[in-house]
Amino acid sequence: MASHGPVVLLNATYEPHDVVSFPHAVKMLFRGVAVVHEADADRRIGPHPWPKVLRLVRYVVATWMYRPAAYGREAVLRRDRHRCAYCDGPADTVDHLVPRSRGGTWTWLNTVAACSRCNNRKGNRTPAEAGMRLRFEPWVPTRIQLAGWEGRR
- 138 & 80 share domain: yes
State pLDDT tens for residues 24-42: 999 999 999 999 999 988 8
Amino acid at 17: H
The three-point CA angle 81-89-86 to 5° equals: 90
Question: Is the whole-model pTM more than 0.75?
Answer: no
State pLDDT tens for residues 83-128: 999 999 999 999 999 999 999 999 999 999 999 999 999 999 999 9
Domain hosting residue 98, numbered range: 69-146
Rounded Cα distance between 67 and 58, Å, is 22
- 117 & 90 share domain: yes
Sheet harboring 7-10: ordered strands across? 16-20, 7-10, 48-56, 34-45
Number of domains into which the chain is organized: 2
- 55 & 80 share domain: no
- 57 & 78 share domain: no
- 114 & 75 share domain: yes
Whether residue 152 lies inside any domain: the answer is no
- 77 & 140 share domain: yes
Question: Percentage of the chain with pLDDT > 90?
Answer: 74
